[in-house]
Amino acid sequence: MITCKSTVEMTSNTSSSSSLVRIAAAQMTSINDLTTNFNTCSRLVKEAVEAGAKLICFPENFSFVGAKDGESLSIAEPLNGPIMQKYCSLARESNIWLSLGGFQEKGPDDAHLCNTHVLVDDTGNIRSTYRKIHMFDVDVPGGMVYKESSFTIEGKDIVAVDSPVGRLGVTVCYDLRFPELYQQLRFQHQAQVLLVPAAFTKITGEAHWEILLRARAIETQCYVVASAQAGKHNDKRESYGDTLIIDPWGKVISRLPGAY
């Protein structure tokens, strides 16, 4: 299992004077075992705290990646359920903010869930939730056919929230291909840091991952933090990796390669 983190200092303008704050971005290969994934996240949180980070960002599907159809639906829970509450306790005990992108939140019926990006503050309270707006419905050339909308309810609301590292614009994975969302986060909701937790496929990641992230940074003049799943989760699914932190000039200032 690939598990690692990258930390970088960024300029925060949350007060009358600018200051440097440290943020961590995690990369992992989640599997269909909630306990194993939580233990991995706990270790990465400890490393981030030791490095002085105020926020650690985890990739989409950090807590669970199903190995067969229907598994994600079977483990989906409400935000006040035991899975998310363990992560809230982790944030509180570690005194750090968590960006938990792509949580399988239970939907309105047993056939649907929400792909939810949850921000938890350092007291263990959920500060905001963003439900993924753009569904990954694609036929990957030379790869698999994905239809996220068949089991996921799309979100409606654009979300930005203040944090110790600046005002965060909250998104998930496939949202990256829709620049108008990021324009609204920056110019209507005053986001300073854009979060893009993801589980890009190997094929689409090689083609588009970095260039799209750098474009979003340049056109909005925001930092972009893109935590990624990496490697083979099971016999059917492989993620691209290449976790990146990008500055408003479009320069990659920290990177975790996809392969080791």
Residue 60 catalytic? yes
Per-residue pLDDT tens listing for the chain (260 residues): 455 666 677 766 654 456 789 999 999 999 999 999 999 999 999 999 999 999 999 999 999 999 988 899 999 999 999 999 999 999 999 999 999 999 999 999 999 999 999 999 999 999 999 999 999 988 877 777 788 999 999 999 999 999 999 999 999 999 999 999 999 999 999 999 999 999 999 999 999 999 999 999 999 999 999 999 999 998 888 999 999 999 999 999 999 976 43
Q: What is the CATH number of the domain that holds 77?
A: 3.60.110.10
Cβ-based neighbour number of residue 108 at 10 Å = 9
User: Under DSSP, is residue 180 helix (H, G, I), strand (E, B) or coil?
Assistant: helix
Residue 57 catalytic? no
Among 54, 132, 202, 222, the one annotated catalytic: 132
Q: How many domains does the chain have?
A: 1
Among 54, 173, 202, 222, the one annotated catalytic: 173
Q: What is the pTM of this model?
A: 0.93
Among 5, 41, 60, 222, the one annotated catalytic: 60
Host domain of residue 134: 3-256
Q: Which of 217, 260, 225, 231 is nearest to 243 (CA)?
A: 225
For residue 190, CA distances in Å to 8, 166, 171, 174, 256 come to 22, 10, 14, 22, 28
Residue 88 catalytic? no
Report the amino acid identity of residue 141. P
The predicted pLDDT at position 139 comes to 82
